[in-house]
Every structure is written in C-alpha cells, then in structure tokens.
Amino acid sequence: MREFSTTCCIAGGGPAGMMLGFLLARAGVDVTVLEKHADFLRDFRGDTIHPSTMQLMQELGLLDDFLKLPHTKEWHIVARFGEEDVPIADFSHLPVAAPYIAFMPQWDFLDFLADRGRELPRFRLLMRAKATGLIRESGHVAGITAETDDGETAIKADLVIAADGRDSELRRAGGFTVHEIGAPMDVLWFRLSRRDGDAAQTFGQVARGRFAVMLNRGDYWQCAYVIPKGTLEKLRAAGLDAFKASLAELLPVLTGRAGEITSWDDLKLLSVAVDRLERWWLPGMLCIGDAAHAMSPIGGVGVNLAIQDALAAANRLAAPLREKRVADSDLAAVQERRRFPTNTTQALQVAIQNRVITPILAGDGPVAPPWPLKLLQWFPWLRRIPARLVGMGFRPEHIGPELAPRR
C-alpha cells in the first residue's frame, strides 16, 4: 500500500472541503484534499452563492476575479401563489460588497478555489481519490485509507476532516450518532430552455398540491419540482405525459417547453434529508458541511452554511495545525461555534416545511400566501429580515488574524 503524510487531510472536494483546504494552505498548513471524481462537472448541485460567501471572497481579495465567472444576479426573491406575486426577500439593502444572490455553476466555483489553491505551496488536490476508511492509532484517528489512481493509499494526518457530503463514507466509518429530523418532500431537478420575453426573475410557483421553483441560469431555467417524500414511483406509474401536463398547468409561462423533457432520465431526484450529528468530532477527526448536518433545500443555504463551517474551522484550527498541537477542545470549539447557526437554520427550515410546504403538497385550503408573507407585501421594509437570514445566515463568519497568508 502506498503511504504518505500530511498535516490535514480533507475528504471531499465540495464547497466545504475546497474552501477549508484553500484557507488552511493559505495560512501555512500542509493540506491534502481528496475528490473522488475526475472533475467537478455534475448537474444540479447547489449553485446559489449567497452574500455571506461573496463577502468572504471580498475579505480574501478575490471577489473581483470571482465575479468574472459566468453568473446571474438576483436581488429579490418572489413567490407566486396562483396569480398573486408575493415579494419574499430584498437583498439590495444588505451592508456587504455583493448584496444579491449569484447563481453560478458549482463546478466553476470549485474550479476557481482549486486554481487558487494550486498556487499555494502547501496545497495538494488529489482527483479520482475516494476516502474508504479511517486509520486509528491509540484510540484516535490518525489518517485515512483511499482509492487513488496509484492504487490503495494510506494517508497519515494530524487531523482528518470529513467534508464528503450527507452520504459521507468517513461519517459511517467513524460511527457517529445521527439525529434524523426528516423532511416531507423530495425534489425533481431538470432544465428547460429560456427564451426572449421570459421574465428575468427567479421565482417560486405555488398551486394546490404542487410547488415548483424556477432559477434563472441565463440561457435556461433550472427547475425544481417539489413532490411529497417517496412518491416518485407513483409519479412514474402515472406516466411522463401526465407529469408534463401537470408541469405545463403549474407553470404556464413555460407553455410549449414541457416537451423538452423526453424521458425520466431528464429528471434528477434529490432525496431531501434534514439531519445533524450529535457530536461532530472524534479525537483526530472533524465533520463539517453536509457530513455534519444535511440541510433542506429551502432557502438554498446548504452551500453557504458549509462554507461558514469551513471558515470557522480554519479560524480555530490553523494555528494548532501549524504548531502540531490540535486538541479535542479545538474540535469541540468548532462544533460549539457552529451549533447555533446550524440548529437555528434547521429549525427555521422545519417550521417552513411543516407550516408551508406540507399543506401545499397536501392540497389543503386555498392557494393563498400565509399571513406572515402577507405582511411582507404590506410592509416592504420587512423583506430585509428574510434577506438577512437567507443571505447572511445566523452568526456569519469572517477571516480571523490566524488566516493571514503565510508561505
């Protein structure tokens, strides 16, 4: 078995893993990041870059270059209940460098971080490298095993970071206790063409028993069709034509485009899960991002919450990693720092699931906005509150002094 050592080994080349790897290497820590695929090109990953993430880019001096990547901007969120438009959030008042949501393919975001990481002498990115298990020594995690292009590999590390998503292999290997919260829905993602004359604005469309979101991606719409949890097979049994007819009725603005869906293969299922670990760490190991807490797609906050985890971890762990003195208390401190934002965000998502999404999917009552959304119609200044919660989150993180660039 091939073997090498690193100070910090990060499993998972998603937003949390790539951001943490870049920040630590920039701060002078020897880092190895593993990504199991050959590239980052996968459709229907989280593509919303929120103001909190762009503020981080600003603090790193990277925002101008970052915004040269292809993206669309959204200053407002609107939900349409039947024929009634309800403004939900107004990001334009946020006191940040980029007061809007940027819709950007996640592969561009990850390639951007990877390219900046490769400029650093202490950053190593291994593609086609899949973490398969943990190396344990004297009761603590001392590294991982991985399948790489060079065969089975043992990577010894002072600290292992599991950032390999909600289906984390390392989370399972660590035997972590998962608190399952649950979600009432799944999501079907698909693309439809965007034409001249279409609205520019991203919006959600609500009808009795149905709910969809359309994200403006420039030359196409990225669409999310929300279905009750576990009902995909029932939908398939009714036939693709029935699904397309339902879609055309729900989204008349897309009249004539449902035919672009030619098979069920054009629809990608996201099985929605909401959960979190009771404890995010073991001696020598820390979970962050979806590996620590799977988020609902409500608000599109999952990517940005994962990046906030990465920043909090980097702030706390950079100095101990440089000095080879990472203690259990450091790992516990990262979880404690991120506990309130995670738990509060999930509680808010669950409240929306239970009070808004579930009644909509059940077809209960008239198609009308709930009374809290009515307040957002009547008092426009209130739209700054959901903008703050979605765009910045609870307790946004910032670059600390320990993350100053080092060679």
Q: What average pLDDT does the structure give for the chain? A: 91
* Phi, psi angle pair for 41, to nearest 5°: -80, 90
* Residue 44 pLDDT > 60: no
CA 15/CA 1 separation, integer angstroms? 30
Give the pLDDT confidence score for residue 79 in this predicted structure.
81
Least confident of 102-106, 111-115, 239-243, 252-256: 252-256
Q: Rounded distance, CA 209 to CA 332, Å?
A: 43
Q: Are strands 130-137 and 140-148 parallel, antiparallel or unpaired?
A: antiparallel
Amino acid at residue number 403? L
Is the per-residue pLDDT at 256 higher than 90?
no
For residue 366, name the pLDDT band (cuts at 50, 70, 90).
low
In this prediction, residue 300 has a pLDDT band, given cuts at 50, 70 and 90, of confident
Q: Which helix (H) or strand (E) holds 48?
A: strand 48-49
Query: Hey, what amino acid is at 2?
Result: R
Count how many residues are written for the chain: 407
Whether residue 155 has pLDDT greater than 70: yes
Q: What is the pLDDT of residues 96-130, one digit of tens each?
A: 999 999 988 889 999 999 999 999 999 999 999 99
The side-by-side arrangement of strands in the sheet containing 275-277 is 178-180, 275-277, 293-294
Pair 67, 61: CB distance under 8 Å: no
> Given this model, what pLDDT does residue 407 score?
72
Q: Are 179 and 343 in contact (CB under 8 A)?
A: no
Predicted confidence (pLDDT) at residue 222 exceeds the cutoff of 90: no
Q: What is the mean pLDDT of residues 377-396?
A: 91
Mean pLDDT of 248-267: 86
The highest-confidence range among 33-42, 196-205, 301-310, 358-367, by mean pLDDT, is 301-310
pTM, rounded to two decimals: 0.92
- What is the rounded CA–CA span in Å between residue 150 and residue 18? 22
CB count, 10 Å around CB of 380?
10
How confident is residue 159, by pLDDT bands cut at 50, 70 and 90?
A: very high
Q: What angle do CA 292, 296, 298 make, to 5 degrees?
A: 140
User: Does residue 365 carry a pLDDT above 90?
Assistant: no
Q: Is the pLDDT of residue 335 over 90?
A: yes
**Percent of the chain at pLDDT above 70?**
98
pLDDT at position 263 over 60: yes
Mean pLDDT of 7-19: 96
pLDDT-derived band at 131 (thresholds 50, 70, 90) equals very high
Residue 364's pLDDT band, with cuts at 50, 70 and 90, is low
**How confident is the model over 170-191, as pLDDT tens digits?**
999 999 999 999 888 899 999 8
pLDDT for position 375: 86
Residue with the bigger pLDDT between 41 and 331: it is 331
Tokens 């420039």 correspond to 218
Average pLDDT over residues 156-161: 98
Question: Confidence band (pLDDT; 50, 70, 90) for 43?
Answer: low
Per-residue model confidence (pLDDT) at position 19: 98
Across residues 297-309, what is the average pLDDT? Answer: 91
